[in-house]
Structure formats: C-alpha cells, structure tokens
Structure 1
Amino acid sequence: MFLKKAFMLGAAGLSLSGVAIAAQSESLTPAPGLLRDRPLEELAQWDRPAPASRIEASDYVDNYANDAGDAFFFAPGVWVNALDLNEPRIVIRGFTLGNSQHRSTVIVLRDGAPLTDVHGETNMVEVDLMSVAHVDVFRGGVGDLMFGGDNLGGVLDFVSPTGRVAPGRILRFDGGSSIEASPGGQAHVSVAAASGNLDYFMGLTGRYETGYRDHSQRLDGHFNANLGLELAQNFSTRFFFEALRSDVEFPGMLSPQSAADDPTQALGDVTLGPLFPGGPILYLADGAAEDEHGRTVLSARIANATEFSLFGVDFDAGAHYVRRDIENAQIDYIGVIEDQGSEWGARLAAERAFGLFGVETMIRLGGNYATGSKSSNRFENLRGESGDLLFETDLKSKRMAGFVEAAASPLRNLVISLGAKFTRTKRYLTADGGDDIDEQRTFTGVTAKGGVVYNLTRTLQVFASAFRSYEPPSMDELTSDDPEDFNGLEEQDAFSYEAGLRGRVNDWIGWDLTYFNTDIENEIINIEEPEENGFGGLFANVDETNHKGIEAGLDLNLFPQRFARSGHALTLRNVYNFNDFSFVDSGFLRVDGNQLAGMPTHVYRGELRYAAADRWFAAVNVEMAAGDYFADHENEVSAPTYTLVGFSAGMRMSDHAELYLSGENLTDANFAAGLTPVLEQNVQDGRIFSPGAGPSVYAGLRYRF
C-alpha cells in the first residue's frame, strides 16, 4: 500500500548515510553499485516530511572512534564541538552552543529510550560506538513526537546490534598516538547469536587515553547487552542492559594566545580582574592539574522495548530505569560536585492504518512519563578530593507528554501529515537537607506540526513542513546562578519551516538538500562578563533570535560502469552546512543583528575513497571551517578557521581478520575543537578555547570468529 511506503519515505530523508555507498555489515569495504542495487524504500526510517539521516556503523568502524562525536562526520546539519574529552557537544542547527557542560536542546536516546535524563541533561560518555549498529538523526524540533517536539535541536537515537541483525563473535584492538607521544587505545569484544525465538548481543569495551593535552588521561569501561524474545508472530520484546565506569581528567580551556603558543598545556593559574583600570588582580585557583579537574561517572541502565498487535492496532511500549553517580572536580571556587540519583520512565504508542472516505490514512497516538531525583552536593576542592560541604541540594523532575499524529494520501504520490503534542515538566529544589520544597517551577507547552511529501519519481522526492517547538530550561540552566535557588529563566518557543529535495540518479549520484528557518523567542544562551575570563557560566533568555541555513549532502559513485566490472569502486562523499544564526531582538544584551557565537558560517566535510571489492580500501578525508567563527556575541573575537586532513585504509587479511589504519590532522593545524560562547571576550587571557589534537595515527585489528 502506497501510504505505508510514502509515509515512511517522508521521514527517511534519503539520508546520505543511506544513499551513500556504504559497507555491508560483514564487509570491510563498500560494495560498488549500492545506489543502483538497494531499493529506495529500504533507505527509509520514519514517516515524517522532515530531514533525517541514518549513520551506519560502517561510516566510522574503520577509524579510531573513541567517543560519540566521531559518528557524525557524514551527517548533514550536525556539527561536533569537542568541549571536553569524551563529552562532545553535538550541535544541530546551532542548538546546544550555549551549554558549557550538559547538553540540552538535543535529546539523546538509546534504543528508543531516553539517555537524556528527565532533568534535561545528557552524559555522552555513556555511549559506546563499538556497541552501536546505527544512529538515527532527526534534525529540528519535530522528529518522532514520542520524544521530539518539546526540544529545539532534534533527536539522536543510538541503536544497538542484535543477535538477528549482526550474529557472530568479534574481537577488536585499536591503538596509536599523536605526534606529541600521547598514546591511547581501546579493546572490544562482542558476541551475538540467535536461536529459535531467542537472540542476544553482548559487548564489552575498555578504553585508555593519555590525552593530547596535559592532564587529560581517560579510562573507560563499557558493558552493553540485549536479549530479544519473539513470543508470537505479533508479539516481541527486548531487554537492554548497560553499565559504565569512566574516569577522565579535564585539562580545561585556554585563552587564544595560550592555545596558539602551546595547545598541549592544561589550564594554568586562574585570576580575576582587574575590575577597573589599575585595580588589583585576584588569585582564584591553581589550575587544572593542581586542582585535579576531572570526573568519575558510574551508571547502570535497564530498558525494555515491546511491540505487539491487537485488534488491528500496532502497539509500541517501553520502560527504562537508570542509576547514576557522578563526581566532578572543578575549579577551586566551584569545588567538587557530587551527584547521586536515579530515574524511571515508561512510554506507549498505538498506530493503525485504515481507509477514510476512500483515502488511505494512518493515525498514531501515545505518551510518556518520567520522574527522577538526585542529591547534588558541592564540597571544597582539596586537590581533587572533597573537603567541607558548601551546598546541599535535592533535585527532582517530572515530565509527562501526550501526542497524536496522522497522515493521509489523497493522491498516489502525495502524503500529508499533521501532529500535535502536549508536554508538562515540573522541577523541584530542596536546599540544606530539608524536608520542604524550597523552589518549584512548572513548564507547559504545546507543539503542532504539518507537512507534505511528494514523490516526483520513485527516486526523487520533495518535502516541506512547518512546526512549532518548545523547550523548558534544564535543571542545570535553572541553577546556573545559584545551586540553592532557581533563576528566572523561561521556556523557549520556536516556529520553523523547512523544505528539501532528496533523491538519486541511477547508481552514480545521491543527494539530500534542506533549507530551514527557525524564529525563536526566549532562546537560552550563555553570557559572561569579560573579567570573568570564561568562567561565568551564566544563562539568559534572549527576546528573539533566528536560526537559518542549508544542510546538504552529495554522494558520487565515480565511473561506476568502469570500476564495477572489476569489483572496484571510487566514491566521493560530501557534507556541507551553511549556518546563519543571529540576534533579532537581544534586549538588554544590545547585540541586535550580530551573529550568535560558537559555530563557523561554513562547514564542509568530504571523503574520497577507492575500494577494491572487499579486499582493501584507501581514503583521504578533509574537514573545513570557513567564514565567521565568532567566540563572543559582541562579534569582536574570532576563533581561527581551519582545514583538517586525514586518511583511512584497510585490508582484509583472511575471511576472519581485517587490518585498518587511520590518521588525523596530518598538516598539524592549530584549531579550536571546541569553545564556550560568551557575551564579550575583550580580555587578553579569557579562557574559552579547547584546542584540537595534533597529528595522530592509529591502527587496529578486527577478528571475526
């Protein structure tokens, strides 16, 4: 039935990760002719007239992928701001730029259940790419209304392998070093199998990094497993189990001059002032190494996803429980923050297809609920150890949401969809160990959307959509001024429209092109005073801002007729983002017309790869940032633009063993891998830049039993 196909095609976004000449799950190198051989409907993900992409593990498995940000090289509309080791800030359409620690505005899921907690905070260290089969990326504030719509940036869903999709046993070792002799490596083992109505997957990863910069060692251990049961033809359930121990040192941020002089150094002594000409300079802290800046994360998670059909209705249900203990040693005057908490949540959705006055129609409705609490205590920092108690707080959040969406196909090649969602979020704060709630905030929002998808041909599709999105401030943002008191931040409201064209021509070209425009009221951004040297961490609502841009991907299978005859392939993959994010009415900030800081205007990523069937491959890749790359909202200070060059290569030694090699930043470019935008940055030693790593080479061995 056409509606089902077109409904699904609308969301797929013929993502370039799908249109790309991607590797088969059992192949080291891409198979030529995949654009021609793979049916269009298999590239689909969701039934939405909105841009989306699927990142297969084959996009990063032949490189040294040691954190979640390494998955998004070929994802249009996504940019990674590597603020801290193992905690990348993943930016979609300019959202999450203002967050110095936790990442709001982008919701992160694991197998359809929230990894972003009910407080609105995400710890990306909990994602192990070695135990991920693919990542679904939904750009903008729509996505799947189960968890999207009440956020501005979009949704990321990291999906696990299963015993039915990827059976076998794999042993993998990676290791290498930068030119500064900072070695690192990881080891991974996984087992997956299926028998009858039962299948399972188990993966274990250990990772050690000495770090490119001083005081940046890292030690992680991940366990991921899932168990699936098909109890009947129309009833299946799967349980997911995860555990993590992560210990990481944070080298801190640097000033522009310090980053240019020696990007490997850690944060040094921290001072404040002078607050007036000729005034004193106050000594605040010893620096990252002396104060033992770092973080320890212990987490355990169990989740369930169940699908069944009853009376012609398809049901999707799930639940999750998470326990997290986090100890975060920061600068002297902030101290050591110890968070201990847990949360649980559940979801249910129902979907049915039917005919309505002769028109194929589908309707889906559902909702979710989550609640979580944590104790968040702050102590003096005594060389990384907890000293006297400074602040004692108990934090709690509740979230409930309900949605309905429908699609109809009045014409054979046309699908029209509508949807709405109601969300209520409550946040509570209790200070000094008391029993009574000291602070309480309730945020309520309604999301609405509409869109159309039209298939011009079987391999060419246009879409357009408009939607209202909404997002409440996270717990981290509400307590950014005072850990024992909520500030006055309000929820963010946005209206967006977007249009796109995606498709392919035969077996040699595929593309994904989207234009978006979002008007936001009360966008939450990071602001600081210049004398704070990048350590203010204050947030404010801006009256009106605008985010617009272009997201483009282009994949070329060069000379397919010539190379396909020999089983070879020459492919060129391209991703380009144009970013225009500006202040319309900045209120008291007085920066109307300026660009929002923190992201380059132009970002290009590409890879040229030659593959000799499944025997060997060699590739060169490049990432370029050009145009304005402002560090402050006053638009007075810019981070340097950059061009990064890397390579990857691999060889199949036997039916079981594969070798691969990768290199990064081969030209030794000095660049800012991450920065924290501030209001103004007119002091010489303002520390807001996180330098990127120098030239690095890594090698690996993957063995399949």
Structure 2
Amino acid sequence: MHNEPRFSSLRRIRRRDPIAALGAVMLTLAATTAHAQARTRADSAKADSARTTSAQALQGVRVTVTRDAARSPLELPFAWSRATIDDRPALRRSGVADVLLGIPGVQVQDRANPSQDPRIAVRGFGARSAFGVRGVRVLRDGIPLTLPDGQTPLDWLDLESVGRVDVIRGTAAALYGNAAGGVIDFRSRAPSARPFAIDARLWDGGGLQRGSVLASGSRRDTTGTVQGGGWLGSVTRTTGDGPRQWSHLDATSAFGRAMATLGGTRFEVQGTRYDTPRAENTGALTAAELARDPRLPDSLNITRRSRKAVEQSQLSLLAARGDGANTLNASLFVGTRTLDNPLPFAIVAVDRHVAGGSLHGARRTTRLSWPLRLGAGVDAQRQVDDRLNFENCSTLAASAPATALCPKPGNERGSVRLNQQERVGGLGGYVRAEVEAPHRIFASAALRYDRVNFAVRDRFITGTNLDDSGERVLSAVSPMLGIAWRARPLLSVYANLSTAFETPTITELTNQDNGAAGLNALLDPQRTRTAEVGVQGMLWSRLRADVALFRATVLEELVPFDVPNQPGRRAFRNAGRTSRQGIETNLTASTSMFDIGVAHTWSRFEFDTYRVGAANYDGKVIPGIPAHLLQAYVTARRAGWFATVDGTASSRVSADDASTVFAAGYAAWNVRAGYTAPRVGHVRLEPTVGIENMFDRRYAGSVVINATRSRYFEPGLPRRLTFVMRIQAE
C-alpha cells in the first residue's frame, strides 16, 4: 500500500482526511452539548455541580508513580495520565486498547490475532515489538509484569479485575530501570464495601464469547464499619473462532487478592492462574490480501499450524507501612510459564521460572529551611528459561518417508534443533530527592544504576551444531532532573530531563541472522535522553487539560528485521542515532449528562544516522509510528440510559526502514448504548449493545516492520456487533 497519498494537514478539513473529519465531528458535538446546556437554568445548575465535583476529584487524586508516598499529580514533573475503567459505561475490557483509549502519546495496535499480544508504544517505544510488549515497563499493583530482559507477555493479564491504569508517558529509567521508555501500572479493583458482592459480565461479538464472574467483600467490625481487610476473586473464560480465519481462542484466567492490616502494616496476597490450550496465529497479510478480505490468514501459518498454548501461574506478597509522608513498601513474587509455540520455521517450547522482589521507601522531613523528601529502593528479578526448538513437520502425512529432520512422519514435532537454558538476572537501585521550595515549587532529582546479566548454556552440541553458550553483562546509570510549579491550586507547569535504556531480550541476543554461535556481541542496548515541558490541570473549573512537548535522542536504537529464507524468524540490529519529537494534547470535560474527551498526538520520529551495508536510511521516518494519532469519545447519560461514540484516527504508517511501504491512514468508529436498570431486590442488570468499526473500514491496525514475503499488514477488526450483559448482586 505504498501508493497511498500523504496525510493532509490538520489545518484543513478535507473529505478524505480521517483525523480532521473526526476532530470536526467531535468539536461539533462538543459545541452542540454546550449550547444545549445553556438553554435551561436547571441544566446550568447541574453543570455547576458537576464542575465542582470534577475539581474536587482532581484535587483528591493521588498517584504512586514516583515509587514513594502517594502524591498529587500536580506536584510531579512527569507527563502522567490515568484511566479509570468503570468511568466508561459498558467498556468491553476485551483488550488493553479499550482501557488505554484516549491517553495521548500511547498507541495500542490491536493485531486481531489471539496468538500475538497487542503492540503498545509510548512515544514510539515498543512500536518495533515482534511479540509481547517491548520498551515499556508494565506493572500490576507495583509488581512487574515485565521480565528482567525487558519483554512483557500480556496475554495473562485479567482486565476484568483491573480498576484503573496509571501511565508515565516518558522515559523513567531513573525510577524503574530497564525498558522504561514509559510505565504502565495496572491497578486492581478495590473489593466491595459490602461483606459480599458479585459483578458478572457476559460478552458476545465477532465470533468470540466471554464470561466473567468477580466476587469481593470487605471485613467489618461489630458496628458495621469497614476495617483494613478485604478480598476479591475473578474468573474469566473466553472462547470462539475469532474475527479472522485461523484465529480460534480458548482461554481461562483467574485472579485473587486478599488484604489485611496487622500491627499497622498492610499485607496483601495475590495469585494469578492463566491457561490457554489453543490460540491460533492468523498472521499478517500482503497489501492485495488486505484489500481483498481482511479476514484472510497467512496461508503458511495454516499449513504449518502456527499457534500457541500457554500456562502461567504467579504468587505475590505485598506489604506497606507508613502514612502519607513516610512510607516503606516491600514485595516478593514467584511464577512459572510454559509455552508450546509452533511457528512456520520451528516449534518453540519454553519452560520459564521467574522470581523477584523490591524494597523502597520515602521519608519527608521539615527540619531544614525547605521541606525535603528522600526516597530510595532496590529491585531484583531473575528468569530462567529452558528452551527447546523442534523441526516443524506438520506438513508431512503419516505415510510420508522418514527423514533426518522428521524421523516420525505424522508427528508434528521433528528433530531437536535447539536445547539450551537461558538465564537473565536484573538488579537495580535508585535514590530520589525532592525539595519543596516556596511558591509551590517542587524540584527533584533521581539516579539509578542497573545491571542485567545474560547467560546461555547450550545443551545441544553436535558436529554441525556449534556451542551457543555465552554470557553478557549490560549496565547503565540513569539520571533524572525535574521541576514542577503549582501555579494555581488546580494547575501546574513542569519540566524534566530524563533518561532510559533498553537492553535486547535474551531471544534477540541469541537470534543471529548470520548463524553465528553464542550471544550477539555486536547488539548493544539503546539509550535515550529526553527533554520535556508540559502543563496539566483544570481550566475554567470545567475543562481538564494536559499538554506535553518533548524531544528525545536515542543512541543505538534496536531495529527488527525478518531473517531471509526463515519465515517468522526475527533478528535485530542497532541504528546509530535517532531523534524523536512530539506534542501530546488531551482535553476532557464532564457535566451531569455528558463526558467528552479528545486526545491528539503529533510525532516526528526519524533516523539521523543509520546505514546497513550500502543502504543509507538517514532522514527516513522510524517505522510503525503515525505522525498523527487522534482519539475521541462522547458519552451521554440520562435516566439510566447511556450511549457512547468513540473513534480512533491515524495518519499513514511506514512499515520498513527505507520508507517505501506504508499502511494507509484510517478512521474507525465504535458506538455503544445501554441501560442501567433499577435494582430489583439485590440484583441490577445492565444490558449493552455495540457496533465496533461501524463503517467496516478496511485498514491495517498494526504493521510488521521490515517483513519478508511482503506480509507487512495486520488487519484491524472488521465490523462486528457486540452484546454485553452486566449483572450486579449484593
């Protein structure tokens, strides 16, 4: 689709410009809403009440992204966003794209592929990921989902039990270490204040069906007052053939948490179990196939029966002590993951064990002329993977003659191609200091040191198979400086200078396109320096605004490419230097009847110095990232009825380093409408119907960067009707 025209300027509203069209419609809706509110005095009074509530809500928000005591976001020198999931009526929770909608600087590429996690990018970090999430640090309740080598599998995250998401939209290695080009922290739903309550959802749409049941409760004393204990348990089951051919999914997840306060210390135990016996890999398409039918699969993925089966378990223990000024937090976790992953080039089997912990705290003192807050912490993680690769013999019939690669025709697994143990250990510590100067000025500095050790022990050494054993140690020092000025009680201005580093994963270090043995000694971590300024807060007591401008320089950027003549196998190389600059804008407003939000991200990401042999890519755009990304929504509520329209529009996206292949720009609209029925006894029903991709736009929601066989395009979801029934009982 390289012949698509360039995306037109946002200053002009053209018929074929999806972003301008979407923006114009949203502005028209906003204007219509404002006009309707002004028509009656009663509506004006309701709006005044809503504005007061919004201001109080913002003032009362507390976040822990600084890894110390909960703070007001207006005192932090970061671009920070929060998405409270239950604030959006009948949100599908079918993927992270739903819950991260409307956060500027965050791009979620839904690959419509149950075998592949959605690709999440924060300011472009993560857009190159071949599988899982890369370049972005992902946590749940402070426990890292990101492995020590920087990779994050998201398939086992149960969104039904998530209540909100906090996002740092910028480099945060000074606090979080490796792969912290951005930070996404999923926070679990709080237990019901009642002794026992149930929240169940039934969802059907696009060939998939999902059912979930969440039960929770809180401990009370003899007077009925809620104490410091509670529990929550959630089970979710998803099954169906999916929106494309060869996209069957069969998955079950369970999550539980129990909390108690003993001797002034808050303890919490969490457990997760995830089981997916079958998730088919539908693959990417050529431009011609995408234009013909986006439901088509990659035919090679069918003949090779590409898919995955996963089992994962994790147990975590958290403890916290202290008040708002002085805190101490600790955590421990252990987990296992087994993966059986037939791919076109091989069958990959992994048996993984992970463990880790953290200890961090903060103390505020007023003994000096200006109040001083000090924080420090240490994080440790370890992963051990026992990896086996087999020859993929799925195309051979049982009657075929035996060969050295496929000694037992009819068996999918052929001869062993790889047998090794991979170990990755990460250890990092940080210190942070913040001075509260007069005139509501908060100046802070942080410094972190990280050391990541990679080791491979080869168990399959033959006359033709070289010894792939090896070890590499990668380390980094990450400083950060920031300042925030709370110019008004509900408005702040901030600036920061921050850094990030990202190591290759253990798989990226072992996948060498030239077939060399051992770990790739030429593949280095990428390092980023970022300068950022921004403003956030309430304007005119009704409009919440968030504007951030940034410029980043990345050295040794990690760039993926498909290995020639080995379909599905990826390798990585370093680009010399890249530059990124962008503007992120988010405006939201709420009244008694309407919620309106618009988020726009402008990005200009380019290779400054990048040569591969005789090819010169200097000045080319970094693939996978649109120059313009606009998301918007309008929700109306009245007398129990509600309706939501939301849309995403993107300019065209480059799919290769040479900027010769592009996915066209698009705009996709979704609509939902439902009714929250009055409670009957102890039960309340909330049915919702919706249409995703209402106009059935054919587009590439994601691209495979530098793909072979011209399979660059991963289709967005086709139009589908969805139905959700929510049942609440207490």
Q: TM-score normalised by the shorter chain: which range applies? A: 0.7 to 0.9
Q: Given the alignment, which residue of 120, 131, 138 partners 2:168?
A: 138
Task: Determine the structure 2 residue equivalent to 1:220.
Answer: 251
Task: Determine the structure 1 residue equivalent to 2:268.
Answer: 238
The DSSP-based 3-state class of the residue aligned with 1:635 is coil
Task: Determine the structure 2 residue equivalent to 1:579.
Answer: 603
| Letter matched to residue 703 of structure 1 | I
Task: Determine the structure 2 residue equivalent to 1:192.
Answer: 216
Task: Determine the structure 2 residue equivalent to 1:10.
Answer: none
Instruction: Kindly state the Cα deviation for residue 429 of structure 1 after the two structures are TM-superposed.
Output: 0.5
Runs (4 or more) in structure 1 with deviation over 6 Å come to: none
Note the 1:342-421 alignment, pairs <5 A. Answer: 342-383=353-394, 385-421=412-448
Q: Given the alignment, which residue of 599, 608, 626 partners 2:625?
A: 599
Is 1:438 aligned to residue 456 of structure 2? no
Task: Determine the structure 2 residue equivalent to 1:14.
Answer: none
| CA displacement, residues 272-331 of structure 1 (integer Å, 9 cap, x when unaligned) | xxxxxxxxxxxxxxx112211111110000011101249x95211001101000111111
Q: Does the 8 Å contact 2:149/2:503 carry over to 1?
A: no
Q: Given the alignment, which residue of 341, 352, 372 partners 2:352?
A: 341
The DSSP-based 3-state class of the residue aligned with 1:478 is helix
Question: Matches of 1:372 and 1:536 in 2, distance apart?
Answer: 23
Instruction: Kindly state the Cα deviation for residue 168 of structure 1 after the two structures are TM-superposed.
Output: 4.8
Is 1:518 aligned to residue 552 of structure 2? yes
| CA displacement, residues 123-170 of structure 1 (integer Å, 9 cap, x when unaligned) | 110111111111111111217x55x24334211111112326687533
Q: Given the alignment, which residue of 278, 294, 314 partners 2:327?
A: 314
Question: Matches of 1:536 and 1:238 in 2, distance apart?
Answer: 41
| Letter matched to residue 496 of structure 2 | S
The DSSP-based 3-state class of the residue aligned with 1:41 is helix
Task: Determine the structure 2 residue equivalent to 1:547.
Answer: 580
Question: Matches of 1:440 and 1:175 in 2, distance apart?
Answer: 48
| CA displacement, residues 353-399 of structure 1 (integer Å, 9 cap, x when unaligned) | 00253101100011011112111110122339322211111100111
Instruction: Kindly state the Cα deviation for residue 538 of structure 1 after the two structures are TM-superposed.
Output: 2.0
Gaps of 5+ in 1: 1-19, 22-30, 269-286, 561-567
Q: Given the alignment, which residue of 156, 160, 167 partners 1:126?
A: 156
| Letter matched to residue 215 of structure 2 | V
Q: TM-score, normalised by structure 1?
A: 0.86
The DSSP-based 3-state class of the residue aligned with 1:359 is coil
Q: Given the alignment, which residue of 73, 76, 92 partners 2:122?
A: 92
Note the 1:453-468 alignment, pairs <5 A. Answer: 453-468=484-499
Task: Determine the structure 2 residue equivalent to 1:44.
Answer: 62
Question: Matches of 2:152 and 2:193 in 1, distance apart?
Answer: 28
Q: Does the 8 Å contact 1:63/1:660 carry over to 2?
A: no
Task: Determine the structure 1 residue equivalent to 2:242.
Answer: 211
The DSSP-based 3-state class of the residue aligned with 1:260 is helix
Question: Matches of 1:330 and 1:535 in 2, distance apart?
Answer: 7
C-alpha root-mean-square deviation of aligned residues, in Å?
Answer: 2.4
Question: Matches of 1:648 and 1:505 in 2, distance apart?
Answer: 29
Stretch of structure 1 that moved more, 415-424 or 157-166:
157-166
Distance 1:573 1:644, change over 3 A: same
Task: Determine the structure 2 residue equivalent to 1:702.
Answer: 726
Question: Matches of 2:194 and 2:94 in 1, distance apart?
Answer: 21
Number of aligned positions between the proteins: 633
| Letter matched to residue 617 of structure 2 | V
Instruction: Kindly state the Cα deviation for residue 267 of structure 1 after the two structures are TM-superposed.
Output: 0.5
Task: Determine the structure 2 residue equivalent to 1:637.
Answer: 661
| CA displacement, residues 157-184 of structure 1 (integer Å, 9 cap, x when unaligned) | 1111232668753343333334xxxx21
Question: Matches of 2:516 and 2:289 in 1, distance apart?
Answer: 31
Q: Does the 8 Å contact 1:92/1:106 carry over to 2?
A: yes
Instruction: Kindly state the Cα deviation for residue 206 of structure 1 after the two structures are TM-superposed.
Output: 0.4
| CA displacement, residues 34-61 of structure 1 (integer Å, 9 cap, x when unaligned) | 4421423322314531011111122556
Q: Does the 8 Å contact 2:59/2:490 carry over to 1?
A: no
Distance 1:532 1:167, change over 3 A: farther
Note the 1:54-73 alignment, pairs <5 A. Answer: 54-59=82-87, 62-73=90-101
Task: Determine the structure 1 residue equivalent to 2:144.
Answer: 114
Distance 1:60 1:555, change over 3 A: closer
Q: Does the 8 Å contact 1:68/1:124 carry over to 2?
A: no
Question: Matches of 1:299 and 1:306 in 2, distance apart?
Answer: 24
Q: Does the 8 Å contact 1:150/1:447 carry over to 2?
A: no
Task: Determine the structure 1 residue equivalent to 2:403.
Answer: none
Name the % identity: 21
| Letter matched to residue 377 of structure 1 | L
| Letter matched to residue 715 of structure 2 | P
Question: Matches of 1:522 and 1:593 in 2, distance apart?
Answer: 16
Instruction: Kindly state the Cα deviation for residue 552 of structure 1 after the two structures are TM-superposed.
Output: 1.2
Task: Determine the structure 1 residue equivalent to 2:310.
Answer: 297
| Letter matched to residue 354 of structure 2 | E
